[in-house]
């Protein structure tokens, strides 16, 4: 079995020990070859050990994990961000389709993240990091860039280009005004959580819409939202009141 080299960079010694212990127990195909406690020591560890996966703390005393990555000439390893708090930085990470784990780490999530990192390695990491940087300095909450992975491509999309999202079991179809729809291997629930701050509203169990594309409400047995592209999307009874309130502004 080929062993995967891992470096752990975190300013908390207990956190590094916890990650090392969990990896040793649940991921027998990985080997922790080095550690770092801040940006500078992390850069040295990466340079010395040439890891295939780096567990990287988001916030450290002398900078962020993103500061560290910006100082690496060529990123040829997978990155799994680790943080103790679900805060604004995590939202930007999720928009950018970067992998992250919340402390305390859950074994099932750790195993999934490692398996994904082994398969994808540094696939499109530079592109995702650029998207994160743009979102971090973006002043408008309603327009963000989002990374959408399909089976054949990685798409960088402005959220205000998305008209609606439609559930297809564990997949979601994304619809636009001026381009072909795409299918993404994420649930509608995930997109609901991600896009609700960008003016989207889940009007039905199977439908999430961008309110800026709603032209009117058609009354009837449940009612429908009429979108700018003339599509009629059903409004569930229990979400009707909130939808009309949002529509009225």
Rounded Cα–Cα distance for residues 112 and 173 (Å): 24
pLDDT tens by residue, 14-61: 999 999 999 999 999 999 999 999 999 999 999 999 999 999 999 999
Residue 151 three-state SS: coil
Tokens, residue 124: 């499109």
Alpha-carbon distance 41 to 138, whole Å? 30
CATH class, domain 4-134, is alpha beta
Q: Calculate what percentage of the chain has a pLDDT beyond 70.
A: 95
- Out of 3.30.413.10, 3.40.710.10, 3.40.50.300, 2.40.50.1020, the CATH code matching 150-248 is 2.40.50.1020
Q: Which residues contact 238 (CB under 8 A, 6 or more apart)?
A: none
Q: Report the pLDDT averaged over residues 83-87.
A: 79
Model pTM score: 0.81
Please state the rounded mean pLDDT for residues 131-146.
Answer: 76
What is the spatial distance between Cα 119 and Cα 175, in angstroms, rounded to a whole number? 28
State the chain's maximal CA–CA distance in angstroms. Answer: 67
Contact present, 39 and 11 (Cβ < 8 Å): no
- Quote the radius of gyration of the chain (alpha carbons, Å): 21
Question: Does residue 100 carry a pLDDT above 70?
Answer: yes
Angle of CA points 99, 142, 207, to nearest 5°: 75
Residue 48 has, within 13 A of its CA and on its CB side, a CA count of 11
Sign of CA dihedral 159, 173, 82, 103: positive
Strands annotated E in 10-129: 30-36, 53-57, 59-60, 63-64, 78-83, 99-102
Look at the alpha carbons of 192, 86, 32, 36 in this order and tell me if their dihedral is positive or negative: positive
Segments making up each domain of the chain, as ranges? 4-134, 150-248
The secondary structure of 74-98 as a DSSP string is ---SEEEEEES--SHHHHHHHHTT-
pLDDT digits (tens, 9 = 90+) for 101-126: 999 999 999 999 999 898 876 678 88
């Amino acid at each position: 079995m080929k062993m995967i080299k891992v470096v752990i960079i975190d300013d908390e010694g207990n956190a590094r020990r916890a990650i090392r212990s969990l990896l040793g127990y649940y991921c027998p195909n990985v080997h922790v070859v080095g550690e770092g406690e801040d940006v500078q020591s992390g850069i040295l560890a990466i340079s010395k050990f040439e890891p295939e996966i780096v567990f990287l703390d988001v916030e450290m005393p002398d900078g962020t994990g993103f500061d560290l990555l910006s100082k690496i000439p060529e990123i040829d390893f997978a990155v799994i961000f680790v943080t103790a708090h679900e805060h604004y930085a995590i939202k930007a990470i999720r928009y950018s389709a970067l992998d992250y784990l919340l402390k305390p780490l859950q074994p099932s999530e750790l195993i999934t993240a490692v398996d994904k990192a082994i398969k994808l390695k540094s696939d499109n990491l530079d592109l995702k990091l650029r998207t994160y940087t743009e979102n971090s300095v973006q002043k408008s909450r309603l327009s963000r860039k989002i990374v959408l992975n399909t089976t054949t491509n990685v798409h960088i999309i402005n959220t205000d280009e998305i008209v609606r999202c439609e559930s297809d079991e564990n997949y979601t179809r994304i619809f636009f005004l001026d381009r072909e729809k795409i299918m993404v291997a994420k649930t509608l629930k995930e997109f609901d959580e991600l896009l609700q701050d960008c003016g989207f509203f889940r009007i039905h169990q199977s439908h999430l819409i961008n309110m800026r594309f709603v032209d009117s409400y058609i009354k009837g047995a449940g009612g429908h939202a009429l979108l700018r592209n003339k599509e009629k999307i059903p409004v569930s009874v229990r979400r009707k009141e909130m939808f009309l309130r949002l529509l009225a502004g």
